[in-house]
Amino acid sequence: MTDIKIIKERQRKLFFSGYFQKYSVATVKDDIELVKGDRDDLYLYPDIDYSDTDRSVWKAGFHYYRMELQLIKSGTDRVDNDPEWRKKMLGALRYWIEKDFINQNWWQNQIGMPLVMANLAIVFEKYLTDDLANGLKKLISRGTFHAHEGINEIAELMGTTKSKTADAWTGANLVWGASTTIRYALWLEDAELLRIAIDRLSEEIKISAEGIQADGAFCQHGPRWYSGGYGRSFVFEIAPILNILRGTKFALPKEKTDLIMMHILGGQRMMMRKGYFDFGAVGREYTRPEAIYLDYLKRALPLIAEDDTLDRKDELSEFCSELEAGIDLLEKTKYYDSIAQLCHKKNGIYIGIRGRKEGVFGAEMCNSEGNLSYNMTYGTVSCIMESGKEYFDISPIWDYSRIPGTTARIEKEDELLKHGEWWSMLETPCRAFGKANGECGAMAQFTAHDGISLTAAYFVFDGTLVALGTDIRDEAPEKGRLQTNVEQCIASDTEHGKNMARNGRIIYRNLDLGTEFVSSTAVQSGSWKKNNAALPDDAIDCKIFSVSIPVTSYGKYAYSASLDECRNIKIINNDSDCQAILVDGKKLMALFYNDFSLNFGERKVKGKKGDIILD
């Protein structure tokens, strides 16, 4: 067999394995029978709303996703040996081609649909009539690096002067386009087009503003943290490409696979706990069910690991085993300057601190997702996980004025929606800097928004977080009272005491007795729709654990979170010159905002502005 035929057969096998399946059977039913349309050669699903125009979860698109599910379930034997069933499936394909449904979200027309159609073309290739083949070429090429047939009419149907072309895509969008083009080239057995697609994909695997960062993080939609969202999609789409190309003349160069491995092992693996991402890593996708669960990576990484020529294959195999077993073996601390994010994995706990600085976007609101995310965009957001499930599917029942780690006003949802276009601001008075040495780390955050300002410090070591806040100011108290939100997560075996609270195995302690520590376990209600317009409005109840510190004129806070009893932690300094702690009487950790001398006991330490001590 030639290389292109080997690759094509691998792609076909991957399809029937269910790898590319986007929706579960629970979301897109696979047992609904096709019925005839207005002609004998047209078939459709009677329960699908083909007039739906939702930009995110497009009901009309369930037509081809259901075809995909039914093909996977039935297998290649039924395609070849059941002519009546095959006639219906081809009739369903013809129905979509002739109706040519269009969504106002360009992604649905030029990425989502062509990706599936290119696979269907390979599956049905020997049964396609000329009209079906020509129709498929028109639809698929809308998402390829070749021809762009139908792009202008797509723009016209969408009511715009022009549509996006694959030439301008970046990051995960570019990988989707490459994947569509590769499948299209395999169907046509066009080696020249296959080479074009692979070369363009190879160009995109680089350090860039949108895509992989030099520190292993991943950004999309500008300089915005998306390692677990678009970065996950990037890996999910590139993994089968690496797999089907391995050992052929079309395989990607080593320097490109090295970058992919850096993103996976130096980025994504650091940002999760027991198979669940830090909720900040998935961007606006946290508003979707199961968004932080690493199911896509559980499918993708074993495909990459089949390549015996990879450097760091042992690390990748270990990560695969972790995800399969639901455990977490990695112990490391890393600061990501590209996204102002501190990640700490040690002694059975994950601690993530999300910062904000000029030149880096905060949270995102897009396609009516993430509308309530205002308080997630100015830094000081914390994600603390032991089980990994502390924030799993919490979006419907979160109180969005109480995002973990933030100091914010207590506002109702309609008030949060009035904050304006906060998601699109690159310029910000917020400043963050940090450092990690592999074992421990620290991050400083000055944040200012809506009349609120403060300086916060975060120290992580041995599975412990110590958070300090100082100079908390409120220039607009008439807008509502402030509180520092220590935690708000799903409750699990909780305990509440004076100046302490426990959820599961994680213990939170108040380290500044000049403040009040307020904790509770209570049922909260909500719905998916409140922060994602495409999802149901069904009422959801869940027991929530929360801890907060009401802000007073004192203007400070200090607390810790860990799995163990509180370490001997002494606050050495907590003001706008320096924030510092001493651990067990010997380990000094400090962040300096001005030239300043620390004096404690017989020790004296001088620091300059911007210094970080992890002694």
The model's pLDDT over 225-270, given as tens digits with 9 standing for 90+, comes to 999 999 999 999 999 999 999 999 999 999 999 999 999 999 999 9
- Name residue, tokens 């807008």: 479
Spatial separation of the C-alpha atoms in residues 273 and 425, rounded to whole Å: 30
- In the three-class reduction of DSSP (H, G, I as helix; E, B as strand; rest coil), residue 43 is classed as strand
Local structure of residue 469 (DSSP, 8 states): E
Local structure of residue 293 (DSSP, 8 states): B
Last residue of a domain, one of 545, 567, 589: 567
User: 4 with 88, same domain?
Assistant: yes
Average pLDDT, the chain: 93
Spatial separation of the C-alpha atoms in residues 550 and 145, rounded to whole Å: 55
On whether residue 296 sits in a domain, the answer given is yes
User: 306 with 441, same domain?
Assistant: no
**Token pair of 109, please?**
């027309």
Alpha-carbon distances, residue 410 vs 84, 205, 508, 519, 540 (angstroms): 61, 43, 21, 16, 22
On whether residue 513 sits in a domain, the answer given is yes
Last residue of a domain, one of 298, 330, 362: 330
- In the three-class reduction of DSSP (H, G, I as helix; E, B as strand; rest coil), residue 454 is classed as strand
Neighbours of 77 (CB within 10 A): 9
Would you say 298 and 322 are in contact if contact means Cβ atoms under 8 Å apart? no
- pLDDT tops 80 at residue 596: yes
Crossing angle of helices 62-81 and 3-16, rounded to 10°: 110
Q: How does pLDDT run across 402-416, given as a tens digit for each residue?
A: 999 999 999 999 999
CA distance between the termini of the chain: 61
On whether residue 594 sits in a domain, the answer given is no
On whether residue 123 sits in a domain, the answer given is yes
Q: How does pLDDT run across 185-212, given as a tens digit for each residue?
A: 999 999 999 999 999 999 989 999 889 9
- pLDDT category at 273 given cuts 50, 70, 90 is very high
- pLDDT tops 70 at residue 147: no
User: 173 with 243, same domain?
Assistant: no
User: 229 with 112, same domain?
Assistant: no
CATH number of the domain where residue 304 is located: 1.50.10.100
User: 306 with 433, same domain?
Assistant: no
- Name residue, tokens 């994909």: 201
User: 171 with 24, same domain?
Assistant: yes
CATH number of the domain where residue 460 is located: 2.70.98.10
Last residue of a domain, one of 330, 358, 393: 330
> Hey, what's the torsion of the CAs at 228, 232, 234, 238, to 10 degrees?
150
**Token pair of 149, please?**
């047939």
On whether residue 582 sits in a domain, the answer given is no
Spatial separation of the C-alpha atoms in residues 146 and 144, rounded to whole Å: 5
- Residues 423, 297, 93, 132: is their CA dihedral positive or negative? positive
User: 212 with 159, same domain?
Assistant: no
User: 419 with 510, same domain?
Assistant: yes
On whether residue 151 sits in a domain, the answer given is yes
User: 266 with 384, same domain?
Assistant: no
User: 192 with 228, same domain?
Assistant: no
Domain count, the chain: 3
User: 132 with 248, same domain?
Assistant: no
Class of residue 492 by CB neighbours under 10 A (exposed 0-12, middle 13-18, buried 19+)? middle
On whether residue 76 sits in a domain, the answer given is yes
Spatial separation of the C-alpha atoms in residues 9 and 2, rounded to whole Å: 11
Structural domain for 466, as ranges: 340-567
Q: How does pLDDT run across 455-479, given as a tens digit for each residue?
A: 999 999 999 999 999 999 999 999 9
On whether residue 596 sits in a domain, the answer given is no
Local structure of residue 502 (DSSP, 8 states): E
- pLDDT tops 80 at residue 31: no
User: 259 with 354, same domain?
Assistant: no
User: pTM for this one?
Assistant: 0.88
- pLDDT tops 70 at residue 165: no
Spatial separation of the C-alpha atoms in residues 578 and 595, rounded to whole Å: 9
Spatial separation of the C-alpha atoms in residues 552 and 550, rounded to whole Å: 6
